[in-house]
Structure 1
Amino acid sequence: MTTNQKNQSILIAGASGILGGHITRALTEAGHKVTGLGRGPANGVQADLMDRDALLRAVDGQHFDTVIHAATALRRAPMRHRDMHATDALRIAGTAHLVEAARATGADRFVSESMVFGYGYGDFGGHVITEDDPFGPRGTTPELERHVEGMRIKEQLTFEATGLAGIALRFGLFYGPGGTDAILPMLRKRQLPAPDDHGRVLPWTELTDAAHAVAAAVEHGRPGQAYNIADRSPLGFRAHVLCVAEQFGLPKPMTVPRWFTKPMSYAHTMFLTSMRVSSAKAEQELGWTPRYPSCRDGLAALAARG
């Protein structure tokens, strides 16, 4: 197990986001000094990742040991393919700019948020995906290729950055504090349609578990390596939403046929995707284990917090 210095100075792009906030807390609790990078005034380094020159000016004269890329352009769950386009661009141009900024600050480690959907969208059947499986295969449609390309190039930029030890964490679908909250009003109003899963399952990652995985990668991750980060109980989308409704005492989601969701093109693609991933490598090399091994565990804890 690789061990890096404690009490690091860490720059987080996306610190003001939901995941970024959890990462900031996990790293601070581990004894690191964290500075946020983003467009908002709450960030210690105020800049837009898509503006290379402004970003380099913002970090000029500053030093960080590690830089973390957890920035996203998403403000809500994507429903249509075009909802992903800004994030697709951020994964390519934004990552290239942040790598350059990391070098300018003298950082020697770069940790990227990645996603398991970089393995592709579709039905993987009973195959359990590990980090040895191909990542970033060409998408089966132009829109899917646009999404996969973003994840593929983000990881390439992470691993190939000269002078930086690059690490990628491939997360499942996020839920938990700050994430699940968004669907509760929709369930209350019965405005969240969910087709039957028909045996399809997806990997899930509770947000505080995700944050602790990032902290583990900062301290123990091997350069040039990717790690799957998901709980041990894959669950279909409808099954997950049913669990949310049960834990929070809300009405069950409407059951709709899959064709009904076609106008929501990205969500429709997710409803047709089925994948299981192994996080054994992260557990062995990072010393990370999910505090919540299933969505039911994580959602029960979230509901108990009120």
Structure 2
Amino acid sequence: MATNDTNHQHRSILLAGATGVLGRHLARALTEAGHKVTGLGRGPAAGLRADLMDRDGLLRAVDGHRFDTVIHAATALRKAPMRHRGMHATNALRTEGTAHLVEAAQTVGARRFITESMVFGYGYGDHGDHPVTEDDPFGPHGTSPELEGHLAAMRTKEHLTFETPGLEGIALRFGLFYGPGGTDALFPLLRKRQLPVPDDRGRVLPWVELTDAARAVVAAVERGRPGQAYNVADRTPLGFRAHVLCVAEQFGLPKPMTVPLWLMKPASYAHAVMSTTLRVSTAKAERELGWTPAYPSTRVGLAAMNVTAG
């Protein structure tokens, strides 16, 4: 458990992506921790309105403001990507958008820059039984041009986070999100039986409940070490189908149809995700940030979500 509280002070935070699924959880958790949060986004609910892809508009929006911490939780996704092309806007946001936000962070005098990264940066495919740590290679060369595009964007995002002069960069490599505001998107698909999933056949992925993810960001704001990445996931890696089955069972919805993995190939990005086996170690986050998941498994997290919803 981390005991160094020297960085625990109330911060003035610019939160990019404040109106997104993760961003809403972050705004709540940071505010409850005593920090002053100003949202940055394209929607009317954001405190400062700007598009990260519009450098000049972004710099105009932040002109005259001062923040000591900037958090990059902006997303280009409005729904789960199925094909590789569905990730193109996200890749651009990870490269150009991050470069623009880093420049904005320097403009507002920020010292700390925290970015939302993800475990797929370790590579798509079979990682075996070994829990991947932050010391393992991040952003290996992709096994296809499409996967290389995604991995190159993740490499760039972390490079900008860590290598920008004057910024204390920290990256949180999250597992797949679920929970309030995220899992809800599966409900209509399950009701209409429009969510076919292949058998896991031993494949597992890291997951993290959204409020747990938000608590990890608060911990990184307060106690994260500059220049470090942290894996953030629960204690129970689970196959994609197993996760969706938990959702169906917990909320009384029809079970998804099982299909062969090869049948998912037209959904090229989903196929890459569902073909991956990946376990990650969160020992570093637990040791240095003092963070542990309140929801150690999908089943526990969904049960809590169901109680809250009820």
TM-score tier, shorter chain, comes to: over 0.9
Q: Which amino acid aligns with 2:48?
A: V
Instruction: Give, in whole Å, the separation in 1 of the partners of 2:172 and 2:202.
Output: 27
In the alignment, what sits opposite 2:257? 254
Q: CA deviation at 1:45?
A: 1.1
In the alignment, what sits opposite 1:299? 302
Instruction: Give, in whole Å, the separation in 2 of the partners of 1:267 and 1:287.
Output: 33
Q: Which amino acid aligns with 1:28?
A: T
Q: CA deviation at 1:79?
A: 0.5
Q: CA deviation at 1:53?
A: 1.1
| Alpha-carbon contact 2:197-2:256 (below 8 Å) kept | yes
Q: How many residues end up aligned between the 2 structures?
A: 306
Query: Aligned residues: percent identity?
Result: 75
In the alignment, what sits opposite 1:11? 14
In the alignment, what sits opposite 2:119? 116
Q: Which amino acid aligns with 2:19?
A: S
| Alpha-carbon contact 1:2-1:221 (below 8 Å) kept | no
SS at 1:78 equivalent: coil
What are the within-5 Å matches in structure 2 for residues 182-197 of structure 1? 182-197=185-200
**Which of 213, 220, 225 does residue 222 from structure 1 map onto?**
225
Per-residue deviation, residues 254-282 of structure 1 (Å, max 9, x unmatched): 01111111111100111110000011100
Task: Please say if 1:21 is aligned against 2:24.
Answer: yes
Task: Please say if 1:285 is aligned against 2:288.
Answer: yes
Task: Please say if 1:147 is aligned against 2:159.
Answer: no
In the alignment, what sits opposite 2:236? 233
| Alpha-carbon contact 1:55-1:101 (below 8 Å) kept | yes
Using the size of structure 1 for normalisation, the TM-score is 0.99
Q: Which amino acid aligns with 2:283?
A: A
Instruction: Give, in whole Å, the separation in 2 of the partners of 1:100 and 1:120.
Output: 28
**Which of 260, 276, 282 does residue 273 from structure 1 map onto?**
276
Q: CA deviation at 1:3?
A: 3.3
Instruction: Give, in whole Å, the separation in 1 of the partners of 2:247 and 2:147.
Output: 29
Deviates more, 1:27-36 or 1:51-60: 51-60
In the alignment, what sits opposite 1:157? 160
| Alpha-carbon contact 1:118-1:148 (below 8 Å) kept | yes
Instruction: Give, in whole Å, the separation in 2 of the partners of 1:155 and 1:138.
Output: 15
Instruction: Give, in whole Å, the separation in 2 of the partners of 1:105 and 1:226.
Output: 24
Q: Which amino acid aligns with 1:203?
A: P
Instruction: Give, in whole Å, the separation in 1 of the partners of 2:143 and 2:189.
Output: 32
Q: CA deviation at 1:41?
A: 1.6
| Alpha-carbon contact 2:18-2:41 (below 8 Å) kept | yes
Instruction: Give, in whole Å, the separation in 2 of the partners of 1:40 and 1:259.
Output: 39
Per-residue deviation, residues 220-251 of structure 1 (Å, max 9, x unmatched): 00000000000000000000001111111111
What are the within-5 Å matches in structure 2 for residues 32-51 of structure 1? 32-51=35-54
Instruction: Give, in whole Å, the separation in 2 of the partners of 1:5 and 1:241.
Output: 38
What are the within-5 Å matches in structure 2 for residues 87-98 of structure 1? 87-98=90-101
What are the within-5 Å matches in structure 2 for residues 52-63 of structure 1? 52-63=55-66
Q: CA deviation at 1:82?
A: 0.5
Q: CA deviation at 1:288?
A: 0.5
Instruction: Give, in whole Å, the separation in 1 of the partners of 2:14 and 2:125.
Output: 35
SS at 2:60 equivalent: helix
| Alpha-carbon contact 2:8-2:223 (below 8 Å) kept | no
What are the within-5 Å matches in structure 2 for residues 77-88 of structure 1? 77-88=80-91
**Which of 42, 65, 69 does residue 66 from structure 1 map onto?**
69
| Alpha-carbon contact 2:215-2:291 (below 8 Å) kept | yes
Q: 4+ residue runs of structure 1 moved beyond 6 angstroms? A: none
In the alignment, what sits opposite 2:137? 134
Q: Which amino acid aligns with 1:261?
A: M
| Alpha-carbon contact 2:119-2:174 (below 8 Å) kept | yes
Unaligned runs of 5+ in 2: none
In the alignment, what sits opposite 1:166? 169
SS at 1:238 equivalent: helix
Q: Which amino acid aligns with 2:304?
A: A
Instruction: Give, in whole Å, the separation in 1 of the partners of 2:116 and 2:200.
Output: 27
Q: Which amino acid aligns with 1:263?
A: P
Instruction: Give, in whole Å, the separation in 2 of the partners of 1:74 and 1:189.
Output: 22
Instruction: Give, in whole Å, the separation in 2 of the partners of 1:249 and 1:48.
Output: 39
Q: Which amino acid aligns with 1:232?
A: R
SS at 2:258 equivalent: coil
Q: Which amino acid aligns with 2:7?
A: N
Unaligned runs of 5+ in 1: none
Instruction: Give, in whole Å, the separation in 1 of the partners of 2:49 and 2:202.
Output: 45
Pair 133,39 (structure 1): closer, same or farther in 2 beyond 3 Å: same
| Alpha-carbon contact 2:190-2:255 (below 8 Å) kept | yes
